[in-house]
Amino acid sequence: MTTKNDTTTITLPMLRDRIDAIDAQIQDLINERAACAQKVAEVKLTEQGDQNVVFYRPEREAQVLRRVMERNKGPLGNEEMAKIFRQVMSSCLALERPMRIAFLGPEGTFTQQAALKHFGQSIISAPMAAIDEVFREVESGAANYGVVPVENSTEGVVNHTLDSFRNSRLKICGEVEVRIHHNLLVAPNINPDDVTHIYSHQQSLAQCRAWLDRYWPHAERVAVSSNAEGARLAAEAGKNGKAVAAIAGDIASQLYDLVVVSANIEDHPDNTTRFLIIGNEKVPQSGKDKTSLLVSAKNEPGALYRLLESFERHGVDMTRLETRPSLISKWGYVFYIDFWGHCEDEACHAVIDELRERASEVKVLGSYPVAVL
C-alpha cells in the first residue's frame, strides 16, 4: 500500500506495530483514569462518611458522555465513541463500588438490555420477577438501583410502573431508550409450520399484532410474564416435542438456544421502549434534564386547565401527560407529567410551586439527565 504523493510503502506489519503502540498508550491512560476514580471514591468516603455514600453520579456520567460526543472528530461515530466511554466509566465505577442493579427479569429481557445500555457491562445483575419487586429491592437497599419499562412507542404506557410510584419514596434518576426488535423463535427441533401456540409478554404480542394476524392467524397467542419467559417456555416445550413458538429479542433467543424463524416482526420499525432508572437519591442538575411529576387534580371545573396553564406561562415544555385512575375515589384521576428541565431550574421550580397551590397533591418523582445514548 502507498499513500498519495508518497512512495513509502506502508506494510501491514508497520500498521500493526503502530496499533500495538497506540493500544499500550490507551491501556496506560485507562488505568490512570481508573486510579483517579479510586481516588474519587476515597474523597467521597471522607466527605460523606461511611454510611450512604453515593458513588454513582448520573449527572456527571451524562456530562462526560455528552462531552465525548461533542469533541469527537471521527472516523468513529459519536455514538460508537460514547459506547466505549460508557464501558470505561462502568469499569471505573465498579472499581469504586460494584453496583447491584435490579431489573424486570428473567435474564434476557429488554429491560436487562436497557440496564446494560445505561450502566455498562460492569454491574451485578439482579433479575426480578415483577415490576413491584424491582421497586422493593431498591427500597430495601438490597439493590443500588432498579430499571423498569415505562412506555413503548407503539403500545403506550406500562401501567404497573406508573402505579408503583404512588406509594414509593424512590426517585427517578435516569432514563434510557432501547429500540425493540422482535423475532419469532422456535426450538431447533421444531418445524415452524406445526406451531399452534405463540408465547410472549402481552406488550410484545401487541407490538406484533398486524404481523401475527397476517402470518399466524390460527396460532393461539399466550400472554406470559415476560418475553424472556416466553422464550424459556418455548425451549422447554421444544424438549418435549411440543410445537410452541415465542416472540422475543436477540438476547433471549441466544440465552435459550432458539432458532429465529422470522426477524424484526414488530409492526412499527421504530418501535422503541423507554425505561426509567430508580434509586434512593435525588440527582443534581446535569445541564440537560427532564422532570417527572405525579399530580392529583382537584375535582372541580377547569382543574386540569389551571395545571397546564402554569406550564405555558412559565415557558416550560411538557413532553408527556398520562392519566391514571386515582385508586382513592371512583372516577378520580391522577396525572403523570414529564417536562424538560430540572426541578431546581428557576422556571420549573416556579411551575411546581404553583401546581402545589392548584392541585390536591404534587409529588416530584425525580429530575434526571436526558438519555445520552
Q: Which amino acids are annotated catalytic?
A: 273, 275
Looking at the Cβ atoms of 94 and 184, the one nearer to ligand PRE is 94
Residue 75 DSSP code: S
CB of 124 to ligand PRE, least distance (A): 15
Residues 6 or more apart from 269 whose CB is under 8 A from it? none
> CA-CA distance, 241 to 247, in Å (whole number)?
18
CB 278 within 8 A of CB 181: no
Q: How far is the CB of 88 from ligand PRE (least distance, A)?
A: 7
3-class SS of residue 184: strand
Cβ–Cβ under 8 Å, residues 196 and 221:
no
Q: Which is nearer to ligand PRE, 92 or 170 (CB)?
A: 92
DSSP string covering 325-336, please?
E-SSSTT-EEEE
Strands 145-152 and 183-186: unpaired
Query: How many CB atoms lie under 10 A from the CB of residue 78?
Result: 16
Q: Please, what is the minimum distance in Å from the beta carbon of residue 46 to ligand PRE?
A: 13
Smaller CB distance to ligand PRE: residue 230 or 279? 279
Site residues (vs ligand PRE, CB under 6 A) = 37, 40, 56-57, 60-61, 64, 89, 92-93, 96
Question: How far is Cα 48 from Cα 54, in angstroms, rounded to an integer?
Answer: 8
| Closer residue to ligand PRE in complex, CB, 88/184 | 88
CB of 42 to ligand PRE, least distance (A): 11
C-alpha cell read off for 247: 416472540
Burial of 326-362, coded b for 16+ CB within 10 Å and e otherwise, reads: beeeeeebbbbbbbbbbbebebbeebbebbeebbeeb
Shortest distance (Å) from residue 354 CB to ligand PRE: 34
Measured at CB, which residue is nearest to ligand PRE?
92
| Least distance (Å) between residue 338 CB and ligand PRE | 23
Residue 55 — φ and ψ, nearest 5°?
-85, -40
